[in-house]
Structure 1
């Protein structure tokens, strides 16, 4: 015999009757539904949650209300709606049904009550009304439904009456939280006693979501929040909630995992939802100091985690609200606008960033401020600095210098480590693009010192990576590799996936140059995998360029061409001119190696024009050599020779930096001069071999030295040409001889 006792929490004192019944009639089985456990010996508790529901946006792909295409909550909604209104067609509303069931948290009674309303409202309209707080409409007038189930308010009111007054106050206050929240947060915000939290869990009004974590059903939250409003305590609790989350932003961000990393991802996402609510309440209620305190940490979070749009969605409305407020806070408003500009730059939306900076500079020029050295001057300098960085990204280097130098020389920079570090890093980028390696190194070392003073691990990682590029350009290969490895470690510490991917790109390019294509492929794979999980189109473009070079080195020309074409298309979409030049060069390399001479010639020409316009003669030289190589391949020595003459006349521009690919230029010039029987061929072979040996000696690792000499086709060709060997013979490599600087005889053979 099965005895069913429903809604038993209202008569818990009758639990002794159940115990006595089971003792007297052992063949009886009792099934009890209750928000509270009976606490009887032998009791087995089976927690019952709502029906399964999908997250908004996860609507079934089929345009059908077929039950198989919906979750259990969605199927219940459709079944009850069509039972009430058989002629009603819900086809095409799947996404709205999914959102509605998510808002209702899969609660069966709420779903049935909502289904009754589809004769008056579409699922989309119902969801919109619930978002606006119109929960009271979830009520039924039919006599077929028991009075206690005719509205959600009646259901929850009955549970509310079972709570002690102190626990009622705790439940009402906890309605300020969104999603999961910690015991620490609950106590800090609401002053909840541990006993009250335990009571709410026992009454099934709070769910234990993990160790020290709680969660409240959306319908319970709505009812509890109405009770909080009735107590006239909403503003007080919201203020405490806002203050707690904004003051704890730094520690929360420090412990926040990367997207998709770790089991606590969902809890941190809920923390972010609470933080958003706290932020919104603060700027709508004039809590300026709280916002000022949280802004740097939030900007760092959204920047380092590549969550740029989320940051913009938080900062832009706050800046607009402050601008429209009678009690304006200009310093905070300007700081928010600069934060928005930084995020736009991060996602390569340079036009939007520049528009913000231009408007802000106009405002700063006319706004009266009490002290010349106060925060507004910092904002003006930041505007100049960011505009300079935009000019660098746009390859407008002269204008970039005009913007950056006033910042570098401003007295305020000497005392502001953050501003000083950013300014010197951007100046270093400018000098690097122009080929001024020593100036770039000095600026980046100054930037790193400032970032170290500010204890900014992320910017230290970026600085170490850039310093690696500078040392590489100076043919200091071993120090460069050390800087890259240091940068990778710092990226892991700061959990910056996007910058980790960028350092992987640097390492992949370096290792391809040195002949270790297998290790380069591992870094490229890591880079591409990272950019499958984050939204960073600029970083993905670099990853594609790196993948093209690695595939080219491994003679996988079809894959290389695919990667290079994708990189060019993405760079064009981003309108990043330096990045477009990089991608175009990569495509030219691949097309030429694949024997596609006409297409290769066009890409080399475009790359050469871009590098020339950008005032990068050290980079333009490699493009000119690429054009010359195409002419050699099609037996057009007449067209190739003037290019060789130009390259040799400007040899000092490109000879001494690995960035210019001097070994490839020497190889190409030597081959063209040899084909033309030009006597300069011998001298070019000697000079090319000298540069090769200088670069070999810059490597401290014997394995890398051997790979550099024997696995890089250009280097093998240079050694063969220098030794006068035929295509079947390559001079033996002696690492010891290289160390003793004796590999080259006094005079090369003819």
Structure 2
């Protein structure tokens, strides 16, 4: 019997095998066949079918028509009484489409797919690759609506049946198109996403989110006019069909696209938390071959909600990494926060895994991240982590368990040569690629076997016209069998096709394998197969190529041709020859190789007498690279220098470790300054500290004191970045002792400077000042003014200025800064000059002198940028943001804060980040974004507490108390303000103590505790007399007057605000005030309580100023929050 293909989605089509479309005599014959096929699960009574299709005919006539239609159908379909599996089972009383016949029905497949979607175990179908494949098949099947052309127009019953099926199938198709549109948009496959969205709009023109998606996609493709036209289409349809306008979300998108913002809202995703910035997956060097079964099985496992840790386990060369990368690529778009591929091949210590994960995911503070903080940052992320080569770091299996427990939406795919032996682990042992037993057993094209397909792909790269023809097929199968389908073995063997015929390759492998069989009986079989391939590839090399291949094993990571020549004496021609033999890979200017290949080359190198010579050359080469890179890290080429050192990280570590083992102090001394700068900026800091510890662990006799001093100085700075301040002080003390032992006051002074900086970061100002003054004393005792002496003096003076500034002594801070600036300018030290300009900007800011502050900070920013000094640039941006925020220029302030935070995060400077976070929290508070303010303050507070900085802790606690006050949690606000008061008293921070007392007053007032509120305000007022920002004094006067009004003394309250009203005639009177519009509102309430005619004009003036200030906020959402969320602003805007 032929196969019947029946398509009912779109134009009605029926054909037998590959024959022409069947021409049916009538539409109702088509309708009868369609109905029977769709309802094939049940036999249909003849009288029902007759009434269904011929409702207006008498029963006899209708039955006659049914018999004729059935006869015609049987004839067209080739059914006879002798047919073993006829398509139609025609009985005396019933008719049924035979479900056991050989047929395909698009509707049946469509329904089966939707049922599979419903029953499949997953978190959500749109996040499940097997279900995405089902959606893709659904979309391919849906050529149009079900039975769109009427086949029985005179039968209301038949048309109702068709309509119900049509609507049901349309809904299922719509779900498929929506899922596919979102999936392809998340993957950046814009054309495919647009096709799915367009099909959805065609099916359901009123579906507004589909129109939005088309607008986004067209804009992202640069088709702005088409995107705007799509909005107009949507608007017209909604108005015509429903008399409605597009939703606010659609209108916002329209405005953004019109303004030139190509789809900033991005693809749809979960609203929870902030999305990660996951980098693109690594590029594959060649198209992936085969493993269809493995990929499908892994996709099913990843879709299973219970399966959250999969280990791809197998020996080296089996293809674990390539398969994991391919699976990662196929999962892209299914996880809201992305898919990250992290190679652990170069990680030497398990504790660095958390840092590497954080760096790859571009998390803030990556270089300093602890396991606990990593768990916190990934807790709500929907992410697939692919961890490659995990066998190097099996000691950190506990981190995986902790990650999976903390993050409910996190999944991990691991490749390893060993099991992890974790309770959460799902093992997937990987075998070799499939190959046939012999030529006779091949039932189809040879390329259907993965091993043969891979061999052909690689062989074509060296012999363009290679094919799996009959004359080579047997030998290729023999090669694949000898290497047991091992991909690395197949690639190496295929690379030799350009030099030897396949028969010779197979014969050589057999001979090598036999030799290994007898000499390596204790080696696992597949490892023995790989060894045979390496032995064979080694045998094909010339003597010069063998020497070169072995010498290159001295490199710990990837390398450039320049390094290969300088270290190993290998020229470009030899590198190219080795790459042609698949022993090396070349990508992006650097050469690399499989770790198994490198291990074999290392064995050959160890067998020679060249190891020490090559390692000495390797160490000297990379020491020079670090030295030269360090010289560039302070200038405009800093980022390029950092990237170059990052590429050589593994070899830099190897060079340092070799120099330590050989006690090559001169080489270490050449590297230490560059390593300090590199790890300060790029991290992970723990790795830099480990390298320093290796050298510091050498016997004292091996360490030159001046070299140890340089390492101690580097150690103090790196410890500070890890917030390990107590250890930093201890190391600085050792540096001071070293300077004393050397009779080197300059070294002692540097030690005191570093000690003072460390203590100042902890808020220990008294001890910090003593340390810095001790450093100046050492320098004063010297009868010299040479450059380094003056530079150290300038830095010590600047640090005294920092301490005075933190303690609120602005005059003393300015004096120290001025002295430091004079020295830096005399030295033509632009770096020191811009640092002091930045500090002077802070002094002017704290005095409320905004013009002077902006001038200093703008000059500092220009100098920092000229020097390529990113940390300094971020500091200046942060301080300029403070000035803008105090002047209520919120849009500019927000931009500066975000730029500063981005730089500090890229540099992984934790203390600097905390300062920006605190300031950013204050800005969010002023804008009325209280949830954002609370979260940002809490991030800053965690850092301040970790580093023991009580001064900054007190400031942030006070800020948090204001947030809780505004959001109504008065008890939490009171507790925080009391903690802030205690911390500020302990640290001696008068300015913040005044703030904390003010906030205590506000909180007590909100609690109805008037006497306690007055006490807080008067304490703050007393403290404020000696502090800048007169606007804060006006605020306190008005708050006290408001308390008087609450006591029923309205006339006294009016008298109390008389000087405030006079001051308000000056537009600059409230500069530096924390809540200037609360001053206006409270004055208005007091005036209104006294029926004073000045009340209404004052309110109108406040409203005008408030609206003018809001107009300077570019973002409409921020502007709305500013006007509606802040209580005083809301009261001013809505009081009539």
TM-score (norm 1): 0.69
Q: Given that residues 504 and 524 in structure 1 are in contact (C-alpha distance below 8 angstroms), is that contact kept between their aligned partners in structure 2?
A: yes
Q: Given that residues 552 and 568 in structure 2 are in contact (C-alpha distance below 8 angstroms), is that contact kept between their aligned partners in structure 1?
A: yes
Q: Given that residues 564 and 571 in structure 2 are in contact (C-alpha distance below 8 angstroms), is that contact kept between their aligned partners in structure 1?
A: no
Helix, strand or coil at the partner of 1:653? coil
Q: Given that residues 357 and 387 in structure 1 are in contact (C-alpha distance below 8 angstroms), is that contact kept between their aligned partners in structure 2?
A: yes
Stretch deviating more after TM superposition (670-679 or 275-284): 670-679
**Take 2:1014 and 2:1052, find their aligned partners in 1: how far apart are those partners?**
13
Pairwise CA distance, 1:405: 0.7
Question: 2:914 is matched with which residue?
Answer: 541
Question: 1:100 is matched with which residue?
Answer: 417
Is 1:726 equivalent to 2:726 in the alignment?
no
Helix, strand or coil at the partner of 2:541? coil
Helix, strand or coil at the partner of 1:248? helix
CA deviations 1:139-193 (Å, max 9, x no partner) are 76699x9999945454334333433433333333222112221222222223333
Is 1:158 equivalent to 2:545 in the alignment?
no
Question: 2:812 is matched with which residue?
Answer: 439
Question: 2:697 is matched with which residue?
Answer: 320
CA deviations 1:667-697 (Å, max 9, x no partner) are 4345446656596985776379659959579
Pairwise CA distance, 1:530: 5.5
Indicate how the Cα distance of structure 1 residues 422 and 360 shifts in structure 2: closer, same or farther if over 3 A, else same. Answer: same
Pairwise CA distance, 1:66: 7.8
**Take 1:722 and 1:361, find their aligned partners in 2: how far apart are those partners?**
63
Larger Rg: 2
Decide which of 340, 353, 358 is 2:715's aligned counterpart: 340
Question: 1:419 is matched with which residue?
Answer: 792
Question: 1:73 is matched with which residue?
Answer: 319
Question: 2:87 is matched with which residue?
Answer: none
Is 1:401 equivalent to 2:401 in the alignment?
no
Q: Given that residues 76 and 111 in structure 1 are in contact (C-alpha distance below 8 angstroms), is that contact kept between their aligned partners in structure 2?
A: no
Helix, strand or coil at the partner of 1:192? coil
Question: 2:726 is matched with which residue?
Answer: 351
Q: Please, what is the CA RMSD of the aligned residues?
A: 5.0
Decide which of 588, 594, 608 is 2:981's aligned counterpart: 608
Q: Given that residues 682 and 908 in structure 2 are in contact (C-alpha distance below 8 angstroms), is that contact kept between their aligned partners in structure 1?
A: no
Question: 2:575 is matched with which residue?
Answer: 197
Is 1:620 equivalent to 2:993 in the alignment?
yes
Pairwise CA distance, 1:290: 2.5
Decide which of 548, 555, 571 is 1:170's aligned counterpart: 548
Pairwise CA distance, 1:330: 2.3
Q: Given that residues 834 and 860 in structure 2 are in contact (C-alpha distance below 8 angstroms), is that contact kept between their aligned partners in structure 1?
A: yes
**Take 2:976 and 2:524, find their aligned partners in 1: how far apart are those partners?**
77
Q: Given that residues 317 and 486 in structure 2 are in contact (C-alpha distance below 8 angstroms), is that contact kept between their aligned partners in structure 1?
A: no
Q: How does 1:111-260 map to 2 (within 5 A)?
A: 150=528, 152-211=530-589, 213-252=590-629
Q: Given that residues 978 and 1000 in structure 2 are in contact (C-alpha distance below 8 angstroms), is that contact kept between their aligned partners in structure 1?
A: yes
How many residues were matched structurally? Answer: 623
Q: Given that residues 625 and 669 in structure 1 are in contact (C-alpha distance below 8 angstroms), is that contact kept between their aligned partners in structure 2?
A: no
Q: Given that residues 630 and 673 in structure 2 are in contact (C-alpha distance below 8 angstroms), is that contact kept between their aligned partners in structure 1?
A: no
**Take 1:188 and 1:271, find their aligned partners in 2: how far apart are those partners?**
15
Q: Given that residues 669 and 707 in structure 2 are in contact (C-alpha distance below 8 angstroms), is that contact kept between their aligned partners in structure 1?
A: yes
Question: 1:285 is matched with which residue?
Answer: 662
**Take 2:758 and 2:897, find their aligned partners in 1: how far apart are those partners?**
27
Helix, strand or coil at the partner of 2:702? coil
Q: Given that residues 256 and 268 in structure 1 are in contact (C-alpha distance below 8 angstroms), is that contact kept between their aligned partners in structure 2?
A: no
CA deviations 1:461-505 (Å, max 9, x no partner) are 654443322221122213323444455556666777666555554
Question: 1:390 is matched with which residue?
Answer: 758
Helix, strand or coil at the partner of 1:175? helix
Indicate how the Cα distance of structure 1 residues 148 and 246 shifts in structure 2: closer, same or farther if over 3 A, else same. Answer: same
Q: Given that residues 517 and 550 in structure 1 are in contact (C-alpha distance below 8 angstroms), is that contact kept between their aligned partners in structure 2?
A: yes
Q: Given that residues 113 and 140 in structure 1 are in contact (C-alpha distance below 8 angstroms), is that contact kept between their aligned partners in structure 2?
A: no
Decide which of 1054, 1059, 1076 is 1:686's aligned counterpart: 1059
Is 1:329 equivalent to 2:704 in the alignment?
yes
Indicate how the Cα distance of structure 1 residues 692 and 359 shifts in structure 2: closer, same or farther if over 3 A, else same. Answer: farther
| Unpaired segments ≥5 residues, structure 1 | 1-45, 79-91, 116-135, 699-707, 736-750
Is 1:473 equivalent to 2:846 in the alignment?
yes
Pairwise CA distance, 1:288: 1.8
Is 1:299 equivalent to 2:686 in the alignment?
no
Pairwise CA distance, 1:343: 1.0
Stretch deviating more after TM superposition (470-479 or 59-68): 59-68
Question: 2:38 is matched with which residue?
Answer: none
Q: Given that residues 667 and 688 in structure 1 are in contact (C-alpha distance below 8 angstroms), is that contact kept between their aligned partners in structure 2?
A: no
Indicate how the Cα distance of structure 1 residues 65 and 629 shifts in structure 2: closer, same or farther if over 3 A, else same. Answer: closer
Indicate how the Cα distance of structure 1 residues 113 and 196 shifts in structure 2: closer, same or farther if over 3 A, else same. Answer: closer
**Take 2:639 and 2:487, find their aligned partners in 1: how far apart are those partners?**
38
CA deviations 1:4-47 (Å, max 9, x no partner) are xxxxxxxxxxxxxxxxxxxxxxxxxxxxxxxxxxxxxxxxxx96
| Unpaired segments ≥5 residues, structure 2 | 1-284, 296-300, 325-386, 392-413, 420-430, 434-482, 490-512, 1106-1136
Indicate how the Cα distance of structure 1 residues 562 and 651 shifts in structure 2: closer, same or farther if over 3 A, else same. Answer: closer
**Take 1:190 and 1:338, find their aligned partners in 2: how far apart are those partners?**
34
Q: Given that residues 384 and 403 in structure 1 are in contact (C-alpha distance below 8 angstroms), is that contact kept between their aligned partners in structure 2?
A: yes
Decide which of 36, 53, 62 is 2:308's aligned counterpart: 62
**Take 1:94 and 1:185, find their aligned partners in 2: how far apart are those partners?**
26
